[in-house]
Amino acid sequence: MNMVDTGIHYPVRLDLLPENWTVCTVGDVIADIQPGFASGAHNQEGRGIPHLRPMNISRDGRIDLSFVKFVEDQGGPRLQAGDVLFNNTNSPELVGKTAIVWGDEDWAFSNHMTRLRPSNGMSSEFIAYQLHFLWMSGYFKHRCVKHVNQASISSRTLATSPLILPPIPEQQRIVAEIDKQFTRLDVGVATLQRVQANLKRYRAAILKAACEGQLVPTEAELANLEGRDYETGAQLLARILDERCAAWEKQPGRKTKYTDPKAPDTLNLPPLPEGWVWATFEQLSMRVTVGHVGPMKHEYVYAGVPFLRSQNVRENKFESDGLLFIRPEFHAKLSKSVVHPGDLAVVRSGSVGITCVIPETLGEANCSDLGVCRT
């Protein structure tokens, strides 16, 4: 086995390699290592030739042509079937993505990409899979040179990267088995996506049935069967409105007269089950408000009062990931956008209408441009 400096972040136990396998460098088996060329004059109208860039290598190691830009033919290096395309410049997390090139299309590639053209019967697919595995394991993240907004792997660094080398027939058998297993995975992913789509439709059907009084027997139906009285929706709404008014009257220092919330316009609304009634959020809530709108970048701190944004509101779920914080003094100034446990938070822009209940564990918080209802 050749002496190759793999570094401490190399993800393979070389002492466990099968007999007749060896370790070399990329430069030992690939003489043609060629970066592409820069072009600031891209177009999306199809003028010239396709110019592949980092986004054209997907995270699963495939050429992705869903968004391709074109350049005028400058006579620069081209890609051909069997070439290995390596992403040499990207964020530290993405630098090193690799894919195999299929087909004989006339493709150019940017200077953020490096073309590897194997020779001597080497399996291009085996090399591409191995380099992409090194990216997946984080190996290139530790070997890249970090700049202000990006990271890079030079052709020299790529050439000195380790490469495990089985006999060529074995490379071919390994690639065939990888392709077979990946095909099975693709089928599984497609099946899972169909199941997820069906589950989404099923969830929507359940909620629709619940909102139409068809999911469980209505209180009116049960009361009629059991020969008893029950509180109708209209009676419940009247009681809520009385409690709402009483709570308003008890507010210390109130300066305005209580105004009944406006009832909904039911002219074009569908009929409801017996005992149900239409109402507005304002009628059912003690308080309806919106979150703070304004610059916040300089107000965030590492610890303090939680500050919710739309990404913290998921479908019927509060998401704590990405939760930010503000100083208590600043929170005190934003009384309009205060949020308490039990409040209903509604996304007002982006994924409009997504709603969740603020959990008890959060405590008092504040929020950005969300709708907030307190029942």
pLDDT of residue 324 exceeding 60, the answer is: yes
Confidence of residue 3 (pLDDT cuts 50, 70, 90): low
Whether residue 128 is found in the same domain as residue 35: yes
Rg of the chain, C-alpha, whole Å: 31
| Domain harbouring 22, CATH code | 3.90.220.20
124-136 vs 168-211: helix axis angle to the nearest 10?
A: 50
- Which residue, 134, 149, 166, sits at the end of a domain? 166
Q: In what order do the strands lie in the sheet with 338-339?
A: 300-301, 324-326, 305-308, 365-367, 338-339
Q: Looking at residues 181-202, what average pLDDT do you find?
A: 94
Q: Is residue 109 in a domain?
A: yes
Are 117 and 148 in contact by the 8 Å Cβ rule? The answer is no
Burial-class residue 83 by CB neighbours within 10 Å (0-12, 13-18, 19+). buried
Closest by Cα among 297, 282, 283, 174 to 234: 283
Neighbours of 154 (CB within 10 A): 15
- Which carries the bigger pLDDT value, residue 254 or residue 359? 359
Whether residue 85 is found in the same domain as residue 186: no
Please give the angle made by the CA atoms of 191, 195 and 197, to the nearest 5 degrees. 115
Whether residue 247 is found in the same domain as residue 342: no
The pLDDT value given to residue 80? 92
AA letter at 143: R
Q: Is residue 5 in a domain?
A: no
Q: Is residue 344 in a domain?
A: yes
Share of the chain above pLDDT 70, in %: 99
Beta bridge partners of 152: 89, 145
Whether residue 39 is found in the same domain as residue 110: yes
pLDDT digits (tens, 9 = 90+) for 104-153: 888 999 999 999 999 777 899 999 999 999 999 999 999 999 987 789 99
Q: Is residue 296 in a domain?
A: yes
Whether residue 122 is found in the same domain as residue 143: yes
The pLDDT value given to residue 1? 42
Q: Looking at residues 257-276, what average pLDDT do you find?
A: 92
pLDDT of residue 263 exceeding 80, the answer is: yes
Q: Is residue 339 in a domain?
A: yes
Q: Which domain holds residue 177?
A: 168-217
- Which carries the bigger pLDDT value, residue 60 or residue 7? 60
Q: What is the widest separation between alpha-carbon atoms in the chain? A: 90
Please state, rounded to an integer, the average pLDDT across all residues of the chain. 91
- Which carries the bigger pLDDT value, residue 148 or residue 333? 333
Q: Is residue 224 in a domain?
A: no
Whether residue 156 is found in the same domain as residue 72: yes
Q: How far apart are CA 141 and CA 91, in angstroms?
A: 9
Q: Is residue 6 in a domain?
A: no
Beta bridge partners of 305: 326
Q: Is residue 3 in a domain?
A: no
Rounded to 5 degrees, φ, ψ at 34 are -130, 115
Whether residue 23 is found in the same domain as residue 160: yes
Whether residue 323 is found in the same domain as residue 357: yes
Confidence of residue 256 (pLDDT cuts 50, 70, 90): confident
pLDDT of residue 253 exceeding 80, the answer is: no
- The model's pTM is 0.64
Q: Looking at residues 219-244, what average pLDDT do you find?
A: 95
Tokens found for residue 234:
């209209």
Whether residue 152 is found in the same domain as residue 38: yes
Whether residue 209 is found in the same domain as residue 238: no
Pairing mode, if any, of strands 113-117 and 84-87? antiparallel
Q: Looking at residues 253-263, what average pLDDT do you find?
A: 83
Whether residue 112 is found in the same domain as residue 191: no
Question: Which residues are CB-neighbours of 145 under 8 A, at least 6 positions away?
Answer: 151, 152, 153, 154, 157
The count of structural domains within the chain is: 4
pLDDT of residue 78 exceeding 90, the answer is: yes
Whether residue 150 is found in the same domain as residue 182: no
Please give the angle made by the CA atoms of 112, 50 and 80, to the nearest 5 degrees. 80
